[in-house]
Homo-oligomer: A and B are copies of this chain.
Amino acid sequence: MLFRAKGFDAVSMDEVAKGAGVGPGTLYRHFTTKESLYDAVLEAWAEKVNTAVDQALSLDAPAREQLLKWLTDFAAMLTEHKGAAARITAALGDPGSPFAAKCQTYLGANQRVIDALDSALRPGVEAMQISRLVGGVAAVADNSDLPADSVASMLSIIVDGLLAA
């Protein structure tokens, strides 16, 4: 879709309307705002999250590797759509945001990881902290078009910080 290629901010509602063969007014009868349209665009993609958690946790490897795999996938999924990472991360604490459902999915996924890895982790880590840390890295990677290995090296630092001392 348009948003994936050019990014949320670079696609105007007129373009979307034209692409869909309708007037801009019709768009607004289906979606109250541009962000809620974007939320709908991200619908299917958000479902991949839990699959990624399953994969990472079923890895026959130490906690450090499982965690790194999950966070790498997480960051990659956030970066898949330009502009999504910053928006979703900003919405993490805001129940009124159009992305609220997506945020719950993410927080839930990170909670599952915390529950599974449990004793290997630093005591007291919260799903919200992980979500924000990785969301922040993803947003930076998105803004600066960072290569995968730059992202990996930053995530590696975070992973070490998340493991029990």
Point out residues on A near B: beta carbons under 8 Å.
Answer: 86, 89-90, 92-94, 122, 125, 129, 132-133, 135-137, 139-140, 143-144, 146, 153-154, 156-162, 165
Contacts and interface: CB of A to CB of B under 8 A. Distances in A.
B140 A154 contact: no
A146 B136 CA distance: 13
A5 B90 CA distance: 20
Given A154-B129, A160-B160, A140 B135 contact: yes
The oligomer's copy count stands at: 2
A153 B154 CA distance: 17
Given A140-B135, A140-B139, A160 B122 contact: yes
A162 B152 CA distance: 14
A157 B161 contact: yes
Interface of A is mostly: helix
A129 B153 contact: yes
Contact of A144 (B94, B125, B144, B158): B94
A86 B141 CA distance: 12
A136 B129 contact: no
Q: Which of A89, A143, A153, A158 neighbours the largest number of chain B CB atoms within 10 Å of its CB?
A: A143
A146 B94 CA distance: 12
A51 to B, nearest CB: 26
Contact of A133 (B90, B93, B154, B162): B154
